[in-house]
Amino acid sequence: MAERLPTADGDRGPRRFNESLDRLIRHLGAPASADVAAVFERWPELVGERVAAHSRPVSLRGGVLIIAVDDPAWASQLSWLERRLLDGVGDHLGAPVDRLEVRVAPRPQRS
């Protein structure tokens, strides 16, 4: 028989799937999906409007934050800001972010 994950309130009743999944993820030491989504939504606030205008978070997996930038010059700029970005995102998540990976991926042109 599978062992149930501990709950803070001792409640073992039915839960929504996303609540159970987030609880499992936190139990494994990773940030909850809602926390990661908040980082993506609050990107301009976390990095500043100027940086956010040229970059966007793509994914956060295994402590690696992948960011897309619209120009190679911004890839260089983000490498200079790496420690600050990692600390800021990690503080917001309440979990460490170990490494930044920057990829040049121009934003699609709007018609």
Mean pLDDT of the chain: 77
pLDDT of residue 31: 53
Q: Going by CATH, does the domain composed of 17-104 fall within 3.30.450?
A: no
Three-state SS letters, the chain: CCCCCCCCCCCCCCCCHHHHHHHHHHHCCCCCHHHHHHHHHCHHHHHCHHHHCCEEEEEEECCEEEEEECCHHHHHHHHHHHHHHHHHHHHHHCCCCCEEEEEECCCCCCC
pLDDT at position 30 is 54
| The pLDDT value given to residue 3 | 59
Two tokens, residue 57: 């978070």
- Structural contact between residues 97 and 60, judged by C-beta atoms closer than 8 angstroms: yes
pLDDT, one tens digit per residue, over 24-70 is 555 555 555 555 677 788 889 888 899 999 999 988 887 888 899 99
